[in-house]
A = this chain, B = another copy of it.
């Protein structure tokens, strides 16, 4: 579990790092970023996971997210994984990709463990983030894995909601920006889940926040911010489906429609510090 340091920069009194390691789950090198705020020697800090959207890597939020001031203030470690396996596997072969498709393959892992060829061998972002990366964190950073929360954007909002709803004891709070809440029902999700998981939609339900709620999953602390000027709202995001499922299940999710905001990091960076503060309230 050797960690390669790609970069470390002092920021807001702490360290913003970018790291690479050999992942057993994906069979490739995986890159991720970690911000460790200023802290007392020997302290173990709570963790906020941030899962990114289609076409993104760790870099988008790391450069554009404006989260470090808030994480420094609240003493929270911020972890941003990549969105898919990339590059050569351990045999030197490149991982399968869907060339020219921004919404499938590299940069579009959808936080699933694929079951279908040729994706099943490497596209294991669920297990990578649920199981492997937490161990890497614990071995290398001053983290307290008894205190974790999760957030994300778009496809990563889908990731945050589904990981959080499947693991309510692990994540104390869940938030999302512009999440894909019902991938089974929208073009991005139908394409990705169908090809990663096969054509039977029953296999998709554990990767669909609305379906998880319909099937009994719940969490007491859910926060969603969604821009009203988001060009993907009507076709791909359909926030109302999650609001409806939570209403039907008696889940008190806080869903805020943000007037005039779009799908970009100009939106995310407006409210990410507020999300950090909200999570900090549950992380103690």
Contacts and interface: CB of A to CB of B under 8 A. Distances in A.
Of A9, A12, A69, A260, most buried by chain B (CB within 10 Å of CB) is: A9
Interface string A228-270: 0100000000000000000000000000000011101111011
A11 B261 CA distance: 7
Interface stretch (A60-68, A99-107, A153-161): A60-68
B63 A267 contact: no
Could you say which interface size class chain A belongs to?
Answer: 20 to 34
B11 A266 contact: yes
A260 B63 CA distance: 19
Contacts of A265: 63
Interface in A31-87: 63-64, 66, 68-69
B66 A69 contact: yes
Contacts of A64: 63-64
Contacts of A270: 10-13, 68-69
A10 B262 contact: yes
Contacts of A13: 270
Interface string A6-43: 00011111001000000000000000000000000000
Contacts of A9: 262, 264, 266-267
B267 A10 contact: yes
Nearest to A258: B10
Contacts of A264: 9
A273 interface: yes
A13 B9 CA distance: 30
A265 B7 CA distance: 13
Contact of A269 (B68, B227, B267): B68
A261 B68 CA distance: 15
Contacts of A267: 9-11
Given A16-B266, A64-B63, A266-B16, A260 B10 contact: yes
